[in-house]
């Protein structure tokens, strides 16, 4: 069997590669560099977009995501096909251009972007409502308005005095729809949605209330009049009574004093909870400006006695399209978007930490935070790319580790070059295989993790080359070249070991393919490709560089030239021999640069050397014609006089180095041998205690996991909590009084979605809608039309169970609103004339429902393909818990089922019932949770099974495989228990960490296992094998663990919280896996190994 195995190894591809590298190192080296460089340059032909959003983090194959994409694809299809009437003459346009927009919409200023600014005290928890701080907030808003170009991008509207003119607030009146200019003159920039902007309106409102009270016959009648005014704007009776009494106590003849009273005192007159009503008709309740405790009157738990107190304020700006020179807000939208983002950089620079506004805010004890459409995405992308700079530090640390391990600059440089080239090469194949230009920020993780893994492989190749030198030359300190056979004999085992570890790591990453979340799946594929690419470069580029370094550049170049000449002259190629008259000796493999002094003399002196004849160059210039060799391997040019010595010449050579690293090398080797010997003895003598401790660790870890592991109820934070974007998200979700407006869309006529042409990584692509056949009868069948109306009535009847946003307004669908405006069901002409009537109504009275009708062409005269209804629920896609989302989703599913029943009851018996589906982006959170559970069950199992199979094939020993699997299981259980103990909940990040744990834990076991099988002499016992394996691999594993931990530790400095958590997991798992491999795995092999 051993002979057969050796013959198989001799015929293996690794032997072929080794001999090719040895014979043609310069050719292999250049190809290993030029091909990756060419592929890297080819990447410039691909469009690449960094995706930092959360929209792509959804399980696309779950029913929630399928329904969501179906409805959104229908809405997109409707925008591209519906042709609105009363449009201008169509200019020449491509066939695939969207239909022309009506002139009325072309004349609008469509709010397309927003900027929210939040002001909190520094440090948090103070009172924003001081005169100095309010004055600075007003100054900040003035500076934003003063930015050059503000008038070009601001949202145009009617003057503030005409704000309640509803005909001019959103749409141009229908009677002047086709006039130019529109009938709303004096359009100007809408003021910021800010407490400062509406201060005058607040004061006028108080004066009007007091005037209403003072006009009554007496104080009691005045209070009653004020109560009626307040109840008319939404105050409940108790609130209205309390405020009327407060105003009456101040006197009805003091109206003018309210124009001078401090704003904080005015607001203190408003009863608790009343600020949650939009009694100013500004689109937001006054409480929108304040934190929720101030807005609602509830206590925030502080004991401050400051009186009127708010811990934070916010304001908002709206920016609009179309810009000058564009027909509509959709005309070349990407160009308009680019121009807006470029302009927005002007005020974001002022608002950035350390900027002009931040420095001024610090002086008054404020912190100004900001977020906005477009700018937040750009800032997040900049932060993510900024974290990539830490990759440079990781490379520096790994370079230091490699240099300390190899003590040779040439080796270190080429190892780093190989690792560096593996990333763009892998990304080229990853990008070429994907039609999507979108790359998730999660892929940033790959360089940090794979730098350490590539360093491990490089160290293993260093060891193989040194071992070959020792086998052939008896020493490894000089840059010597082993013979071809010895080089191939050491190359093949190293290549097999690296193949096993590379496969296990690639499988661990690749197991994320089972995830339903596209960014996680893409990360697994990219990482697996990078591991494979790095393995190929370690097999080619690095050993070729080692051979070149030993041969010398000049000789390698001359060999390459000889080969090229032989090919062109058809004479073939024969490698040069060092000395054809005698077999090669160690001396013939030395060069002047390899001068070493390892004799016992500490400084200077002379040593006697035996002289042998070395090789001369073609030009007869004796580079190393006389080379001395000493018994201890000392090499130097023979420059001294000869002495009579019989058949051999003895020369006395003066040492040219006063000190050398040789003594240090010898000391390191000696200490390493002592340490590995001690480690082997310790493991062998205490193997049962180590095994018992491992079993106890597994039991305790399993108990902790079973008791404390919970699935994450909210998505993980993207950034560190002190970052601007993360802090403002916390304040907006958890501190401010805010109603959530998550849109639930109920759709008729949509049966599903065809995603075959959609980019799974592009959050704006959903696919092509699949239409519902029975709904097509809506265009001419009275029963189908009434059935859809019945379904809408069923939704309205159940509105109390649907957690609708309180201030979202009407809960009607488009058909209900049409029936209401038409005077009732009996006043509607049901049947074939209904679609055209709907179209006419939607152009006038029903403009707010116009986009809920999806026409195949011109509205009213083409087929109505679908109808949607928009409802708004008080759920936030990030801060709402999964339990809340599931409860509301189940209520909507029950309502949809009731709607189907209602439709069936209005149709003739046996008639097909049109489909009705509901979708909301918040439901996708449940799909993510279900995907996490599925992947957590499948991926680790697949990874563990594949790693076990690889281990069995690599070692051909079931005992070794069982020991390795047991060690990995204890490592993973211990790490999970540690994470759970730290309070981590099981989410997308933790799912990713688990798949990494399996692959990264087994690498050390594989190296030790293969050393256990191969390094000990034939017939050795378990103890001898364990000692030999530790002596051979413990130093390499130590260097590998240090490099992996060092590179992954750079993730701890990132601002992206996801990368920080993964980095902490990898660093901890590296330490745990390294320790368990050296102690527990070795103990298991000492007890149960072959």
pLDDT at 501 over 80: yes
User: At 820, phi and psi to the nearest 5?
Assistant: -60, -50
Q: What is the mean pLDDT of the chain?
A: 78
State the chain's maximal CA–CA distance in angstroms.
140
Lowest model confidence (mean pLDDT) among 49-53, 544-548, 815-819: 49-53
Lowest model confidence (mean pLDDT) among 262-276, 719-733, 861-875, 1039-1053: 262-276
- What is the predicted pLDDT for the residue at 775? 93
pLDDT at 605 over 80: no
- What is the predicted pLDDT for the residue at 474? 61
- What is the predicted pLDDT for the residue at 690? 93
- What is the predicted pLDDT for the residue at 336? 86
- What is the predicted pLDDT for the residue at 613? 37
- What is the predicted pLDDT for the residue at 283? 61
- Using one digit for the tens of pLDDT, what is the confidence trace for 629-666? 433 333 444 343 333 444 433 333 333 333 344 555 66
pLDDT at 518 over 70: yes
Lowest model confidence (mean pLDDT) among 50-54, 194-198, 369-373, 1039-1043: 50-54
Q: Residue 913: which pLDDT band, with cuts at 50, 70 and 90? A: very high
- What is the predicted pLDDT for the residue at 280? 65
Q: In terms of C-beta density within 10 A (0-12 exposed, 13-18 middle, 19 or more buried), how is residue 944 classed?
A: buried
Lowest model confidence (mean pLDDT) among 199-203, 357-361, 801-805, 1056-1060: 199-203
- What is the predicted pLDDT for the residue at 689? 93
- What is the predicted pLDDT for the residue at 345? 87
**pLDDT greater at residue 1003 or residue 832:** 832
Measured distance CA(164)–CA(520) in Å, rounded: 49
- Using one digit for the tens of pLDDT, what is the confidence trace for 33-49? 999 999 999 988 888 87
Q: Produce one character per residue of 804-823: b if its CB has 16 or more CB atoms within 10 Å, e if not.
A: bbebbeebbbbbbbbbeebe
DSSP of 604-671, one letter per residue? S-EEEEEEEE----TT---SSSEEEE-TT--EEE--SPEE--TTS-EEEEE---SS-THHHHHHHHHH
Measured distance CA(444)–CA(306) in Å, rounded: 48
Cβ-based neighbours of 691, under 8 Å, separated by 6 or more: 1080, 1083, 1084, 1087
- What is the predicted pLDDT for the residue at 279? 66
- What is the predicted pLDDT for the residue at 770? 93
Q: Please answer whether residues 795 and 901 qualify as being in contact, where contact means their C-beta atoms are separated by less than 8 angstroms.
A: no
- Helical residues (DSSP H) of 798-868, grouped into ranges: 814-822, 834-843
- Using one digit for the tens of pLDDT, what is the confidence trace for 760-775? 777 677 889 999 999 9
- What is the predicted pLDDT for the residue at 277? 67
- Using one digit for the tens of pLDDT, what is the confidence trace for 178-206? 444 444 555 677 788 888 877 777 788 88
- Mean local confidence (pLDDT), 840-867: 85
- What is the predicted pLDDT for the residue at 164? 42
Helices 1057-1076, 958-981: axis angle to 10 degrees equals 140
- Using one digit for the tens of pLDDT, what is the confidence trace for 63-110? 888 899 999 999 989 888 887 664 333 334 444 444 444 444 445 567
- What is the predicted pLDDT for the residue at 599? 39
Q: Please answer whether residues 686 and 1078 qualify as being in contact, where contact means their C-beta atoms are separated by less than 8 angstroms.
A: no
- Mean local confidence (pLDDT), 363-377: 88
Highest mean pLDDT pick, 380-394, 532-546, 696-710: 532-546
Helices 25-42, 518-551: axis angle to 10 degrees equals 150
User: What are the tokens at 457?
Assistant: 């492989």
pLDDT at 748 over 90: yes
Q: Please answer whether residues 794 and 902 qualify as being in contact, where contact means their C-beta atoms are separated by less than 8 angstroms.
A: yes
**pLDDT greater at residue 836 or residue 719:** 836
- What is the predicted pLDDT for the residue at 206? 82
- What is the predicted pLDDT for the residue at 562? 64
- Using one digit for the tens of pLDDT, what is the confidence trace for 979-1002? 888 888 777 777 777 777 777 778
* Four-CA torsion 839, 845, 847, 849, nearest 10 degrees: -80
pLDDT > 90 fraction of the chain, expressed in percent and rounded: 18
- What is the predicted pLDDT for the residue at 431? 86
- What is the predicted pLDDT for the residue at 197? 79
Lowest model confidence (mean pLDDT) among 488-497, 591-600, 839-848, 919-928: 591-600
**pLDDT greater at residue 842 or residue 635:** 842
Q: What share of the chain is helix, strand, coil (3-state, %, to 5)?
A: 60, 10, 30
CA distances from 971 to 37, 702, 770, 915, 940 (A): 39, 12, 49, 51, 13
pLDDT at 111 over 50: yes
pLDDT at 172 over 90: no
pLDDT at 681 over 60: yes
Of 768, 730, 736, 739, the C-alpha closest to 752 is 768
- Other CB atoms within 10 A of residue 784 CB: 25
pLDDT at 169 over 70: no
Q: Please answer whether residues 714 and 928 qualify as being in contact, where contact means their C-beta atoms are separated by less than 8 angstroms.
A: no
- What is the predicted pLDDT for the residue at 917? 94
- What is the predicted pLDDT for the residue at 729? 82
- Using one digit for the tens of pLDDT, what is the confidence trace for 857-889? 888 888 999 999 999 998 877 778 888 899 999
pLDDT at 256 over 70: yes
- What is the predicted pLDDT for the residue at 299? 61
pLDDT at 55 over 70: no
Lowest model confidence (mean pLDDT) among 159-163, 227-231, 741-745, 894-898: 159-163
Lowest model confidence (mean pLDDT) among 101-105, 227-231, 754-758, 819-823: 101-105
- What is the predicted pLDDT for the residue at 637? 43
pLDDT at 1053 over 50: yes
- Mean local confidence (pLDDT), 401-411: 87
- What is the predicted pLDDT for the residue at 864? 92
DSSP of 432-499, one letter per residue? HT-S--EEEGGGGHHHHHHHHHHHHHHHHHHHHHHHHHHHHHS--SS-----HHHHHHHHHHHHHHHH
Highest mean pLDDT pick, 197-206, 536-545, 842-851, 963-972: 536-545
């Amino acid at each position: 069997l051993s002979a057969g195995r050796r013959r198989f190894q001799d015929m293996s591809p690794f032997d072929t590669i080794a001999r090719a590298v040895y014979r043609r190192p310069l050719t292999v080296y250049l190809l290993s560099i030029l091909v990756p460089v060419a592929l890297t340059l080819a990447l410039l032909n691909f469009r690449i977009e960094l995706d930092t959003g959360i929209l792509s983090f959804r399980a696309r194959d779950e029913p929630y995501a399928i329904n969501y994409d179906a409805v959104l694809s229908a809405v997109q299809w409707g925008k591209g096909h519906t042709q609105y009437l009363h449009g201008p003459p169509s200019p020449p346009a491509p066939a695939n251009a969207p239909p022309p927009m009506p002139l009325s919409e072309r004349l609008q200023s469509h709010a397309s972007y927003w900027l929210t600014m939040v002001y909190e005290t520094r440090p948090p928890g103070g009172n924003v409502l001081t005169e100095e701080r309010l004055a600075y907030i007003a100054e900040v808003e003035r500076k934003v308005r003063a930015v050059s170009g503000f008038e070009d991008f601001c949202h145009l509207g009617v003057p503030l005095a005409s704000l309640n003119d509803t005909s001019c607030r959103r749409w141009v009146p229908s009677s002047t729809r086709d006039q130019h200019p529109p009938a709303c003159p004096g359009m100007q920039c809408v003021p910021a949605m800010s407490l400062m902007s509406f201060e005058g309106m607040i004061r006028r409102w108080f004066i009007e209330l007091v005037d209403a009270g003072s006009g009554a016959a007496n104080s009691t009648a005045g209070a009653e009049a004020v109560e009626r005014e307040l109840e008319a704007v939404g105050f409940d009776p108790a609130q209205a009574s309390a405020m009327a009494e407060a105003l009456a106590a101040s006197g009805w003849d003091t109206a003018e004093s309210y124009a001078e009273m401090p704003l904080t005192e005015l607001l203190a007159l408003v009863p608790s909870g009343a600020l949650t009503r939009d009694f100013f008709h500004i689109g937001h309740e006054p409480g929108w400006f304040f934190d929720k405790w101030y807005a609602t009157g509830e206590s925030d738990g502080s004991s401050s006695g400051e009186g009127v107190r708010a811990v934070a304020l916010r304001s908002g700006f709206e920016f609009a399209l179309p810009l000058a020179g564009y027909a509509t807000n959709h005309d070349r939208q990407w160009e308009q978007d680019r121009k807006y983002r470029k302009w927005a950089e002007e005020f974001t620079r002022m608002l950035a930490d350390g900027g002009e506004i931040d420095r001024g805010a610090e002086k008054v004890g404020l912190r100004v935070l900001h977020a906005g459409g477009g700018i937040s995405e750009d800032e997040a992308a900049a932060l993510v790319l900024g974290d990539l700079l830490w990759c440079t530090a990781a490379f520096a640390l790994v370079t230091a580790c490699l240099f300390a391990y190899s003590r040779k600059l040439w080796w270190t440089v080429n190892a780093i070059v190989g690792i560096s080239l593996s990333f763009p090469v892998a990304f080229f194949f990853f990008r070429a295989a994907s039609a999507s230009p979108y790359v998730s920020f999660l892929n940033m993780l790959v360089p940090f993790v794979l730098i350490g893994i590539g360093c491990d492989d490089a160290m293993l190749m260093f060891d193989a080359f040194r071992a070959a030198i020792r086998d052939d030359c008896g020493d490894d300190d000089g840059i010597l070249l082993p013979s071809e056979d010895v080089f191939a004999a050491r190359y093949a085992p190293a290549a097999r070991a690296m193949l096993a570890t590379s496969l296990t790591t690639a499988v661990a990453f690749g197991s994320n393919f089972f995830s339903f979340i596209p960014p996680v799946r893409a990360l697994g594929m990219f990482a697996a490709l990078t591991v494979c690419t790095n393995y190929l470069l370690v097999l080619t580029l690095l050993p070729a560089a080692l051979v070149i370094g030993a041969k010398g550049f000049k000789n390698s170049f001359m060999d390459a030239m000889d080969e090229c000449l032989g090919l062109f002259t058809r004479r073939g190629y024969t490698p040069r021999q060092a000395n054809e008259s005698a077999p090669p000796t160690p001396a013939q493999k030395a060069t002047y640069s390899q001068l070493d002094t390892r004799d016992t003399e500490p400084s200077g002196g002379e040593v006697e050397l035996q002289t042998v004849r070395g090789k001369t160059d073609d030009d007869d210039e004796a580079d190393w014609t006389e080379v001395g060799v000493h018994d201890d391997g000392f090499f130097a040019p023979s420059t001294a006089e000869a002495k009579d010595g019989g058949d051999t010449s003895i020369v006395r050579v003066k040492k040219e180095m006063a000190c050398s690293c040789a003594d240090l090398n010898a000391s390191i080797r000696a200490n390493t041998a002592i340490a590995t010997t001690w480690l082997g003895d310790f493991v062998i003598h205490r193997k049962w205690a180590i095994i018992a401790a491992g079993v106890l660790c597994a039991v305790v870890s399993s108990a902790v996991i079973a008791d404390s592991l919970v699935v994450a109820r909210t998505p993980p934070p993207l950034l560190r909590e002190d970052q601007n974007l993360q802090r403002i998200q916390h304040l907006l979700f958890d501190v401010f009084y805010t109603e959530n407006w998550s849109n639930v869309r109920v759709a008729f006529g949509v049966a599903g979605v065809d995603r075959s042409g959609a980019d799974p990584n592009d959050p704006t692509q959903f696919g092509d809608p699949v239409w519902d056949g029975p709904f097509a009868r809506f265009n001419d069948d009275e029963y189908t039309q009434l059935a859809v109306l019945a379904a809408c009535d069923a939704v309205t009847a159940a509105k109390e169970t649907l957690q609708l946003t309180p201030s979202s307004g009407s809960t009607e669908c488009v058909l209900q609103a049409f029936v209401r405006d038409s005077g009732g069901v009996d006043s509607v002409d049901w049947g074939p004339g209904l679609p055209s009537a709907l179209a006419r109504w939607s152009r006038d009275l029903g403009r707010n429902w116009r986009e809920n009708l999806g026409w195949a062409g011109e509205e009213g005269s083409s087929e109505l393909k679908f109808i949607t209804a928009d409802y708004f629920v008080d759920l936030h896609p990030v801060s709402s818990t999964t339990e809340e989302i599931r409860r509301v989703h189940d209520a909507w599913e029950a309502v949809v089922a009731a709607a189907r029943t209602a439709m069936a009851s209005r149709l003739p018996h046996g008639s097909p019932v049109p489909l009705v589906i509901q979708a909301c982006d918040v439901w996708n959170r449940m799909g993510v949770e279900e995907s996490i559970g599925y992947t957590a069950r499948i991926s680790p199992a697949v990874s563990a099974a594949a790693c076990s199979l690889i281990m069995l094939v690599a070692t051909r020993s079931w005992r070794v495989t069982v020991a390795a699997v047991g060690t990995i299981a204890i490592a993973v259980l211990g790490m999970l228990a540690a994470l759970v103990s730290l309070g981590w909940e099981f989410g997308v990040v933790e799912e990713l960490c688990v798949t990494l744990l399996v692959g990264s834990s087994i690498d050390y076991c594989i190296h030790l296992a293969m050393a256990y099988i191969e390094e000990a002499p034939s017939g050795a016992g378990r103890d001898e094998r364990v000692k030999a394996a530790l002596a051979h691999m413990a130093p390499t594993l130590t260097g590998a663990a240090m490099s992996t931990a060092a590179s992954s530790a750079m993730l701890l400095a990132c601002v992206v919280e996801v990368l920080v958590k993964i980095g902490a997991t990898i660093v901890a798992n590296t330490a745990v896996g390294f320790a368990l491999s050296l102690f527990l795995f070795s103990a298991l092999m000492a007890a149960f190994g072959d």
